[in-house]
Structure 1
Amino acid sequence: MELDLGARLKIVRLRHQLSQRALAKKAGVANATISLIESGNTSPSVSALKRILAGIPMTLAEFFSDELPNMQSEVFYRAESLTEISGGEGISYRQIGSAKAGHMLQILYETYEVGADTGLNMLQHEGEEGGVILSGRLEVTVGESTRVLGVGDAYYFNSNMPHRFRNAGSQPCTLVSSCSPPTF
């Protein structure tokens, strides 16, 4: 799914009746940052985009998900129907179902290319999350603890704790994760 991140941010910002300056102030980022993203001159990291969207407020899943009214009644999803919700380089988060359907659980099929990293700014949000590694190796940092996980290994933690994910292997890493409530 090809997506113009800057155009989508501008549409969302305008729907919430925010100027670039107002959104920047609410998100705690420079006004120029919003302008550069909307003009397509820069692509924010996942953590930077989350910080910007918190100023609206809106989750990443809400930002990227399609507004399809029949998604709530869907039970089965083909691989090609999963909604791409990432904006990070080398990282793919494909959501199962819609974030706007009032779900209490968010499930993602994630791919981290070699060297991909969620960024130096640790992620932190309400809820709990867990995942199972399907292929490759993933370095997971939660608080002060870091562990490299391989195929079949899993993680589960309170996502109020600062956390970060990085591909620590020589091949892409895939995993299935879940978060409750949906906050991504």
Structure 2
Amino acid sequence: MRLTPETADEAAYLAADDIIDHDHPLVRETAAGLRAAVPDGGRYAYARAAFEYVRDAIAHSNDTGDLRVTCRASEVLRERTGICHAKAHALAALLRAEGIPAGLCYQRLGVVHGLVAVRLPGHGWVRQDPRGNKPGVDAQFRLDREQLAYVPDHRVGDYDHATLYAAPPGPVLRALRDAADRPHLDTLLPVRA
């Protein structure tokens, strides 16, 4: 899918902020551990390792029944749980911590589903879905073609959002911040980013 960056300022896709807090010590420590485990030290191998870490080591709270709502990347890494949006924040932070441009993008699947787009040399922006795999869901890190957790069903009004955000859009951020717990979050998630 072709994404439209919300800003032409590439630095925005490398920046730390309150949510994608890649300057936090825990994010830096996690990134350093992933970097050390990458045999060739390349950007592609690191990006894949970061994706697989967030996909596999951070539980999707809806799958596990965890009632906690996480939002900030460092919080997601500390608590090791989050919904798709929170996991996307963590992956974006881990990528940006190593100087790899990363943005947030979304699908409408009844409600907004959070993804990450990464830009590596020779590939442009490619969406990745660190949601977490389960029966019927097989998201993989790929640059040659997308292999996301879900394909929108256009017959029921689902679609891919074309905007690539540098920071979480207001409706998503408000839902995560205002939710008392995950069931409450389910009632707050927006239908568009």
More helix by share: 2
Relative contact order, higher structure (CA 8 A, sep 6+): 2
Per the normalisation by structure 1, the TM-score is: 0.29
